[in-house]
Structure 1
C-alpha cells in the first residue's frame, strides 16, 4: 500500500510528518479531529508546502529531494507521538539550568548541590570535559529542549 507523506504544522509552529492514503484521507481525518500535534496536542493542523514523497510498502524508497534532510528510518505517527510524549515527560521531570549546565552538573557530581535531574546548554568541549570527569550526560536536540513543549 502506498502512503503520502505530508509535512504538517500546528498553529504553534511545530512541524511533524503525517502519513495518509490520500489528500482526502488527510482532509477527513483533520475535519474529524483525529490529527493532533505530537508536541502540544493542538488539533489546528495544516499541510506545509513540501516536495512530494511516497512511502510504498515493500519497494525501495524514492530519493529525498536535495533540500530535505536525509531520513534515518520511517516512523509511524503513533511511534512519533509516543517518542514525543516520553520526551515531554523527561522535560517535566528535569530542571532547566540553561547555560549553567556544566557548572551545575559538576556541583551535583561533587555533592555541592542537591542531586536532581537537570538539563541545559553545553558546548561540545564542555560535554567532553564532563565525560572525562566521569559525569554522564546525554545530549538532546536544542529544538526539543523547550519548556513550552511541556
Structure 2
C-alpha cells in the first residue's frame, strides 16, 4: 500500500513539474499539489524494530526512531555498515552503544549501502539530538520496493508504540 502511494506521489510530482516548467496556467494549484506530493515523499515508514526509512527515487535513508534513541539514552558510539554492503530486510547491520546499553541496528528494507553517515560516526550524539534529520544512519539503493508495504506509517507507528506501554 505504502509503495503504491509513494509511486503515485512520484508520478504526480513529475507530471506537475512538467506542467509548471512549460508555463501552463494555474500554477497556484500546481504548487499546492507539488507540496502535497513532497509531503508524501518525505513520510517516514517504520519497522517494529524502531528503524525508519524515507525513500527518494530508489534510495532509502535509514535511521532510528525518537522512541528508540530515547530508550537508548546518550549514544556514545556508532558502528554503521560499509558502502557496497548488500543487505536483506531485517539483517543486523550495525550497533549503537549508549551509556545505558548497546543496541543492534537492523535494516527495514533490502538493498545495497550507498553511503553511511560519517557525521554520526564522528559525533554519535547526533542520533539523540536529530534522529530524523542529521542523525540518519545510512542510505541504500533498494532492491525490493515491495518491502515498503510491510512497514508502518507514522500514524500506525504511534499506535504500535502505545501497545508497548
TM over 0.5: same fold?
Answer: no
- If each structure's helix is expressed as a fraction of its own residues, which one has the higher value? 2
Looking at both structures, which has the greater relative contact order when contacts are Cα pairs under 8 Å and sequence separation is at least 6?
2
Larger strand proportion of the pair: 2
**Range class of TM-score, shorter chain:** under 0.3
